[in-house]
Structure 1
Amino acid sequence: MENTGPIAFFVPSLTIGGAERVTVSVANGLSRRGYDVDLVVSYDEGDFRSDVAGSVNVVDLGTQRIPGIGIGASVPALVRYLRRQSPEVLFSQMTYANDIHIISQILSGTDTTAIATIHNTLGMQEESKEKLVQWLQRRLAHQIDQFVAVSEGVAESVVEHVGINREKVSVLHNPVPVNEVQERAGELVDHPWIESANLDVVLGVGRLERAKNFESFLRAFEKVHSARPDTRAIIVGRGSKRTKLETLAAELGIDDVVSFPGFVDNPYGYMAGVDVLAMSSVHEGLPTVLIEALACGCPVVSTNCPSGPAEILKDGEYGPLVNVNDDEGLATAIQTALDDPLPSDVLVERANDFAPTAVIDEYEAFIRSFASVDIADGAGKRSEPLTPS
């Protein structure tokens, strides 16, 4: 049997972000099962770099930083990589990277199976650059062998906005390291409100950007605090909207009962120590933060935004769902969760449905349906090609 190329993943960098975290987790999981895995990056940098398993081969494209072009400058190096390594499958992550991947594959002339992964609901983009990138993906869709969506809602948005048949979109959930989350949840958190037995604490976790809609979180919390003075709010994360959010908290008169600790290395200790996590997003893909909170036994409430919350919470079975920008509804949901929280063991059981073992099983089956790899006698050995399902 002849050697085959690796299973490859292309992501711009390994900076903090949901897509980056998922990519590292899946690459590590497949590598531990014996696959030859390449993690191809435009920039070999970021907080997740240290999380990459030693068995995963990190390929640094050495992309130049050219204003206005971004990772588009990766094309020549990615073409060379495709020709040199001929990976069996290349998964690209995020819409812009998907476009760069397909352009590079066309130029390379290789027959690598091209998989474009979509992490967020399409059709929600407002910036002109995002709209251009999505338009380009629609134009290149016929060159993509299969799309992977992280939730059913995202899959439907791909069908609608890319203009392809549903059969060309597979749903593979994001793996969440439930055991690791639970281990780290036991670590002490240096925040006085969490340590206080006399306070009810509401937590928000995410990038301080428009899509996360923390303005609605703050307006909802102001209503909660008015009814329950012993409540406090902590918003964990960093982003361009921090100053605006701090100003809004002051305008609402709650700046002394809202804390912005910024990025924290271990948000799980916060999840385990607070009374409820509230997600106020305008749109998502499959919001990992909800699954992580469930894994910590933390009650959750969420907007019923596209896409993922209803899928994770089973239409409200595991936590209330409210309309986007419904500040009153979000406040009521938070108070309901404070008054009558679901048992932690019920929440943890739901989180286990997204644990890595189950998700990596799905990835492995998916890869086998497109590639010709067989690891029974060692990683990366060729067997008879399987027919795509």
Structure 2
Amino acid sequence: MKKVLFLIHDLGCGGAEKVLTNLVNNLDKTKYEVTIQTLFDVGINKKYISKKVNYIGGWKKMFPGNVTLMKLFSPKFLCKLIIKEDYDIVVSFLEGPCSRIVSSYNGKKAAWIHIEHASEKTISSSFRSFKEMNNCYNSFNKIICVAETVKSNFLRLSDVKCPCEVLYNVNQTDYIIEKSLEKQDSVLHNDDCVNIVSVGRLIINHKGYERLIAIHKRLLEQGVNNKLYILGEGPDHKKLQALIDVLGVKETCVLLGFDDNPYKFVANADLFVCSSYKEGFSTAVTEALVLGIPVVSTEVSGAKELLGYNNEYGIVTDNNENALYEGMYKMLTKDGLLIHYKKQAEIRGKKFSADKTTKAVEKMLESL
């Protein structure tokens, strides 16, 4: 049995944290003794870790500027300080400090890359320099990217030469379907209009909810009777609520806040929308497909891998407000299109079953 450690910054409500929880819970425990270790012992996803998975918490409170502070110490010092036991494989599951730390581990190691970067400056922002970033990643046996676009972006911006492959995120498909059957207090039972849902952190410059709310109003003005529900919390909640009030759509646009079970809402929607400016490989879109819900997404990393390069399984638009509006308007007004994409979503969702994606990760671990 191989001892495998997954190191991550924390287990907050982000997509990578959720994916890691899904992955470790599904790994074959007859083959692997699995441990999650966090730099900071915080996050909603802690409670979802299986009892068959070991957990090592880090510092009890997460403080501002921790990434900058950790750059003051060498990867070797941090590795010795944080990773106390011996493992057959150590995995950095998130970019930044975790990759710096694991790069100095004396043994088999892999690093996950979840997002696209805009420049050499942003890709190396958690490191002391661009040179240190390349040296750290070149020490790994394998780099894992969550989408082909993430891989091509990483290789283009870096000077990393070690093997790099794509593995799709693990989702708890059976759990998602089971939880989707729970009642959601009739919030989305509006048969007289189209119900649109999006799920993500309320960060304006990331998730693009300010433009999604504006599109919601434009659709109303064009006679498309719809209601928009956004699930999630974040630092821009008040700004988005203020925008809803200014646009006069508080009766039709609702910020539902965070819910442990977003699936019961998504499953009752007519359309799921990803309005993000950037993603790695959208967990929320994948979950919508698993539930058979039609999707319109801006062109972010992984969108075409999920929805098809020719819109076979959903609609991918250019990453701007007008294009997203046109895609949503087309989906909601063209006869038969919602029904067509509902069937296509059901087909596509099967590709991302927990069994298939977990086995791909196990194959990678065996290859190290």
Fold shared, TM-score > 0.5 on shorter chain: yes
Letter in 1 for 2:145: A
Which of the numbers 49, 55, 59 marks the counterpart of 1:58?
Answer: 55
How many Å separate the matches in 2 of 1:134 and 1:21? 29
- The residue that corresponds to 1:352 in the other structure is 350
Over 3 Å counting, the alpha-carbon distance change for 1:141 and 1:127 in structure 2 is: closer
Task: Please state how far the C-alpha of 1:140 moved relative to its aligned partner.
Answer: 2.2
Task: Please state how far the C-alpha of 1:48 moved relative to its aligned partner.
Answer: 1.1
* Structure 2 counterparts to residues 208-223 of structure 1, below 5 A: 208-209=202-203, 210-223=205-218
* Structure 2 counterparts to residues 101-140 of structure 1, below 5 A: 101-102=101-102, 104-105=104-105, 110=106, 112-123=107-118, 130=125, 135=130, 136-140=132-136
- The residue that corresponds to 1:99 in the other structure is 99
Q: Deviations over 1:303-343 (max 9, x none)?
A: 012x1011100121111111112x23222222322242125
How many Å separate the matches in 1 of 2:326 and 2:173? 29
Aligned CA RMSD, in angstroms, stands at: 2.6
- The residue that corresponds to 1:329 in the other structure is 323
Letter in 2 for 1:369: S
Over 3 Å counting, the alpha-carbon distance change for 1:134 and 1:208 in structure 2 is: farther
**Is 1:26 the counterpart of 2:27 in the alignment?**
no
Letter in 2 for 1:47: I
SS at match of 2:22: helix
SS at match of 2:32: coil
Letter in 2 for 1:368: E
How many Å separate the matches in 2 of 1:30 and 1:115? 16
How many Å separate the matches in 2 of 1:231 and 1:40? 44
Task: Give the conservation status (yes or no) of the 8 Å contact 2:6–2:37.
Answer: yes
Letter in 1 for 2:33: D
* Structure 2 counterparts to residues 1-389 of structure 1, below 5 A: 6-62=3-59, 68-70=65-67, 72=70, 78-80=79-81, 82=83, 84-102=84-102, 104-105=104-105, 110=106, 112-123=107-118, 130=125, 135=130, 136-165=132-161, 168-192=163-187, 194-209=188-203, 210-228=205-223, 230-305=225-300, 307-315=301-309, 316-325=311-320, 327-339=321-333, 340-341=337-338, 342=340, 344-370=342-368
SS at match of 2:17: helix
Q: Could you tell me the percent identity over the aligned residues?
A: 23
Over 3 Å counting, the alpha-carbon distance change for 1:244 and 1:66 in structure 2 is: closer
Task: Give the conservation status (yes or no) of the 8 Å contact 2:92–2:102.
Answer: no
Range with bigger deviation, 250-259 or 289-298: 250-259
How many Å separate the matches in 2 of 1:187 and 1:97? 38
Task: Give the conservation status (yes or no) of the 8 Å contact 2:91–2:110.
Answer: yes
Over 3 Å counting, the alpha-carbon distance change for 1:79 and 1:104 in structure 2 is: farther
Task: Give the conservation status (yes or no) of the 8 Å contact 1:5–1:85.
Answer: no
The gaps in structure 2 that reach 5 residues or longer are: none
How many Å separate the matches in 1 of 2:358 and 2:117? 25
How many Å separate the matches in 2 of 1:113 and 1:35? 14
How many Å separate the matches in 1 of 2:232 and 2:360? 31
SS at match of 1:225: helix
Q: Deviations over 1:208-257 (max 9, x none)?
A: 11211112211221211112353111111111112222222233332331
Over 3 Å counting, the alpha-carbon distance change for 1:26 and 1:173 in structure 2 is: same
How many Å separate the matches in 2 of 1:11 and 1:60? 10
Normalising by structure 1, what TM-score?
A: 0.84
Over 3 Å counting, the alpha-carbon distance change for 1:202 and 1:228 in structure 2 is: farther
The gaps in structure 1 that reach 5 residues or longer are: 371-389
Task: Please state how far the C-alpha of 1:275 moved relative to its aligned partner.
Answer: 1.1
How many Å separate the matches in 1 of 2:223 and 2:191? 15
